[in-house]
Amino acid sequence: MKQKISLRVIRRISFYYEALLKLDLPGDDYISSKQLEEITGVSCNQVRQDFFYLGISVGKQKKGYQVKRLFKELKKILSIDKGAEVVVIGAGRLGRALSEYKLFRIRNINVRALFDKKPELVGTILELKEKKIPVLHIDKLGEFLKENNKIKIALLSVPDSVAQEMLDKLIGFGMKGIVNFAPRILRLPENAKDVQLINDCIGASLYKIVYQIYNKQKK
Could you list the residues that contact DNA (CB under 7 A)?
Answer: 4, 6, 8-9, 32-34, 43-46, 48-49, 51-52, 56-65
- Distance in angstroms (rounded) separating the CA atoms of residues 151 and 143: 12
Name which of 203, 208, 211 is nearest 183 in CA terms.
203
Residues 42-66 as b or e (16 or more Cβ within 10 Å = b) = beeebbbebbeebebebbeeeebbb
Residues 101-120 that bind a second copy (CB under 8 A): 101-104, 106-107, 109
Q: Looking at beta carbons only, is 52 or 210 nearer to a second copy?
A: 210
Nearest-approach distance from CB 186 to a second copy, in angstroms: 9
Which residue stretch of 28-36, 117-125, 128-136, 171-179 sits at the interface with a second copy (rule: CB under 8 A)?
171-179
Nearest-approach distance from CB 56 to DNA, in angstroms: 7
Output the DSSP codes for 4-47.
Answer: ---HHHHHHHHHHHHHHHHH---TT-EE-HHHHHHHH---HHHH
Whole-number CA gyration radius for the chain: 20
Nearest-approach distance from CB 180 to a second copy, in angstroms: 9
Query: Counting runs of H as helices and runs of E as strands, what totals does the chain give?
Result: 9, 10
Residue 213 near a second copy by CB under 8 A: yes
Q: Contacting a second copy (CB under 8 A), which of 36, 63, 82, 164?
A: 82
Count CA atoms closer than 13 A to 26's CA, side-chain side: 2
Q: How far is CA 90 from CA 95, 111, 141, 184, in A?
A: 6, 12, 11, 15
Q: Looking at beta carbons only, is 65 or 181 nearer to a second copy?
A: 181
- Beta-strand relationship, 153-156 and 84-89: parallel
Q: Looking at beta carbons only, is 61 or 149 nearer to a second copy?
A: 149
Question: Which partner, a second copy, DNA, none, binds residue 134 by CB below 5 to 8 Å per kind?
Answer: none
Nearest-approach distance from CB 71 to a second copy, in angstroms: 17
3-state helix, strand, coil split of the chain in percent (to 5) is 45, 20, 35
Q: Looking at beta carbons only, is 63 or 185 nearer to a second copy?
A: 185
Residue 36 near a second copy by CB under 8 A: no
Q: What residues line the site for a second copy (CB under 8 A)?
A: 2-5, 7, 10-11, 14-15, 18-19, 22, 39-41, 77-79, 82, 84, 86, 92-94, 96-98, 100-104, 106-107, 109, 152-153, 155, 159-160, 176-179, 183-185, 187, 196, 198, 200-215, 217
